[in-house]
Amino acid sequence: MARPDRSGTTVDTLYVGQDRRQAVLFHMLQNYQGRDHLPAIQLRGLDPDRRYTVRVAGGGDVPAGIPKSAPGAWWMAQGVVIPLRGDFHGIALILDGG
């Protein structure tokens, strides 16, 4: 689990199951202020050899620019940029590794 950093524009928390088959990323945009170029969120602790499929908790479309499926090594190296706009908007992404 990565602890949230409340000093910036976003609050991001990643929980990874002990067997590394599933992870959940909670992403909250606290203070938008027109910032469209946020840094990638690094997803640590995944199994680099496992392929993860992503879905949005509660349903809905995966945000633009986020692959629906990729290996753990890709998620950890590339990270993910979640394009949200507006203060206090959030999303939870579930990564399933079968």
Global pTM value: 0.82
Would you say how long the chain is, in residues?
98
pLDDT in tens, 63-90: 988 999 999 999 999 999 887 766 667 8
Q: What is the domain range of residue 66?
A: 10-96
| Residue 5 located in a structural domain | no
| Residue 3 located in a structural domain | no
Q: What is the CATH number of the domain that holds 66?
A: 2.60.40.1180
| Residue 31 located in a structural domain | yes
pLDDT classification of 4: cutoffs 50, 70, 90: very low
Report how far residue 5's alpha carbon sits from residue 20's, in angstroms, rounded to the nearest whole number: 23
Reading the block at residue 19, the tokens are 């067997």
Report how far residue 10's alpha carbon sits from residue 80's, in angstroms, rounded to the nearest whole number: 13
Report how far residue 77's alpha carbon sits from residue 27's, in angstroms, rounded to the nearest whole number: 18
Give me the number of domains the chain comprises: 1
